Amino acid sequence: MLLKLLGLPLSLPAAGLRFCFDQIIQAVDAELLDDAPVKEALLLLQLQLEEGEISEAEFQEREAELFRRLREIRAERETRLREQLAEDGEDEGGVVIRVELGEDDEG
């Protein structure tokens, strides 16, 4: 008990830093796994094509890149979900059902 009290000047700042870094990591993960900006970029790209701002070839190239990014985001989500299920002891090699609610489906 006495050692804990004497160690507080060192352990409290370390715990505070750890908390801050954990919050930063969570924020970065949430932003990296958010597919809304990619979907918005796809809509903007379609609008640019319709208005003649970009060529069909440029559209296809950029669209392929955005769809690749969407697949990466979804694959990462599935990987993390499987890891979480394995940690919780709920993954026994069965079928995983994933439900994604869009912005219109939530209410």
pTM of the model: 0.60
Q: Give the least confident one: 8-12, 37-41, 62-66, 97-101.
A: 97-101
pLDDT tens digits along 38-77: 999 999 999 999 999 999 999 999 999 999 999 999 999 8
DSSP 92: S
- Measured between its terminal Cα atoms, the distance across the chain in Å is 52
The SS3 of residue 34 is: coil
Note whether 43 and 82 are within 8 A (CB): no
Cα–Cα distance, 82 to 90 (Å, whole number)? 9
Q: 22-35, pLDDT tens digit by residue?
A: 899 888 888 888 89
How far is the C-alpha of 30 from the C-alpha of 23, rounded, in Å? 11
Q: What is the pLDDT of residue 74?
A: 92
Buried b (16+ CB within 10 A) or exposed e, 47-64: eebeeeebeeeebeebee
